[in-house]
Structure 1
Amino acid sequence: MSYSFKLGILAAAVMAAAPMAHAYEAGDFIGRLGAATVAPNASSDEIAGGRVDVDNDTQLGLTATYMLTNQIGVGILAATPFKHDIKGDGALSAAGKLAETKHLPPTVTLQYFPMPSGSKFQPYVGAGLNYTTFFDEKTAGILKGKNIRLDDSFGLAGELGADYMVTDKVGVNAAVWYVDIDTEAQIEGFDAFDVSIDPWVYMVGVSYKF
């Protein structure tokens, strides 16, 4: 028996005895940190002959997944507070900024990971619920000094994302969500009106498996 043949048998035996390296498996906790952008697809009821629009904002995004099985996980989306300018649209375009608000959009989803647990590339899809709370609302421009309030929102959410494990613990992540956010705005001196924000949320960051 040649020396090289003996080495080959020894290497095969070691590989057979070694446990398979799993990218994700039941019981894993994956935390992610990155830049998250909320891009509203806004529309509203008519107010003062026009409508309102909501601009984008980028903040620190925080997400996490707990793997219930090798392919099913529970995901959570959180972030530092997003701040949005509310601007005139249509006949109110010339009015510019009308108000501003901050919001937090915690979202919980049930996620499906179709790839085998040993794959370094782990795409996933998810669906769940969002709760958005608005705070620090302030009027500006031609509405400055008037009181404003935005009601909190419950809605459905869907997501599509992917992790790629660079090492056994560290990876990169990209994800996108579509969130149903509807609120009723109440501005002093005007009738209450509905605003659909319905944003796309984009996030790119790093992941760490615990």
Structure 2
Amino acid sequence: MTPSKKILVAAALVASAAHALAQQAGTWSVSAGITHIAPSVDSDSLSSPSGTVPNAKVDVSSDSRLTAAVNYMATDNINLHLPLGFGFRHDLSGAGVLAGVGKLAETRALPITLIGQYRFFDANARFRPYLGAGLSYVKFYKERGTALLTALTNPGGAPTSVSFKSKLAPALQVGGVFNLNEKWFMEGSYTKTFLKTRGTLSTGHTIDVGLDPNCFTLQLGYKF
């Protein structure tokens, strides 16, 4: 083989490898891994029909779960990202004058999210950072008040139940994709959702809570 032919073969192999790494328009991919959600809690004071209970606030715990995602490259640079999961469990404990009293309630939260990502660099780049924005509908379910909540809000009476209002909230995202080979990739992201909800107790008490969760995700993915 002549030197010129060797150069042409090498160039073809490089082009082939680059194309194999591509995430161009029309590419589908799936991924799975772990997501950690840490709320940035800003709680108002508990209110009752007769007035506000000064500085009676709540804190909300973090949770980590296995998650998945589906991606579709609408163009060479714009990706539609749909996270998948079975919901996160969060405990509510006392804060402010209620600090240290213990667990007051628990709830599950299922974020249903769609994010549009702009991926930088060429479609055949090994690493592609991105910025994203979208909307998340957070569904609260399986809420449960504890005996402690009943003792504080309805002593000697029926157990106090609680519900949280499901809300639509904007979300911003930053992350990156690292292509391991022509099919497999690693993806890491940070998502901030701007979420506030209201908890309503069966006793008539309410409490507004800013959650604004920080979401950290690391997943292994496969391209089709």
Instruction: With the length of structure 2 as denominator, give the TM-score of the two structures.
Output: 0.86
- Name the counterpart of 2:196: 182
- Name the counterpart of 2:38: 39
- Name the counterpart of 1:168: 182
Measured in 2, the distance between the counterparts of 1:141 and 1:124 equals 46
- Does residue 90 of structure 2 align to residue 91 of structure 1? no
Contact 1:44-1:196 at 8 Å conserved across structures: yes
2:135 counterpart (129, 132, 137):
129
What's the RMSD between the two structures over aligned residues? Answer: 1.5
- Does residue 219 of structure 2 align to residue 205 of structure 1? yes
Equivalent pairs, count: 205
Which segments of 5 or more consecutive residues in structure 1 lack a partner in the other structure? none
Contact 1:78-1:104 at 8 Å conserved across structures: no
Measured in 2, the distance between the counterparts of 1:209 and 1:71 equals 16
Measured in 1, the distance between the counterparts of 2:70 and 2:6 equals 38
- Name the counterpart of 1:193: 207
CA offsets per residue over residues 112-137 of structure 1, 9 Å max, x none? Answer: 01111110101111001010000000
- Name the counterpart of 1:25: 24
Q: Name the SS of the counterpart of 1:94 in structure 2.
A: coil
2:6 counterpart (11, 34, 55):
11
- Does residue 135 of structure 2 align to residue 140 of structure 1? no
CA offsets per residue over residues 126-177 of structure 1, 9 Å max, x none? Answer: 0010100000000114114211111101010001111111110001111110
Q: 96-105 or 40-49, which moves further after superposition?
A: 40-49
Instruction: With the length of structure 1 as denominator, give the TM-score of the two structures.
Output: 0.92
Q: 17-26 or 189-198, which moves further after superposition?
A: 17-26
Structure 1's consecutive aligned runs of 4 or more residues displaced over 3 angstroms after TM superposition are: 15-20
Q: CA deviation at 1:15?
A: 4.1
Q: 135-144 or 101-110, which moves further after superposition?
A: 135-144
Measured in 1, the distance between the counterparts of 2:210 and 2:6 equals 61
Contact 2:120-2:130 at 8 Å conserved across structures: yes
Q: Name the SS of the counterpart of 1:146 in structure 2.
A: coil
Q: CA deviation at 1:205?
A: 1.8
Q: CA deviation at 1:90?
A: 1.0
Contact 1:163-1:207 at 8 Å conserved across structures: no
Overall identity of the aligned pairs, in %: 29
Measured in 2, the distance between the counterparts of 1:118 and 1:194 equals 47
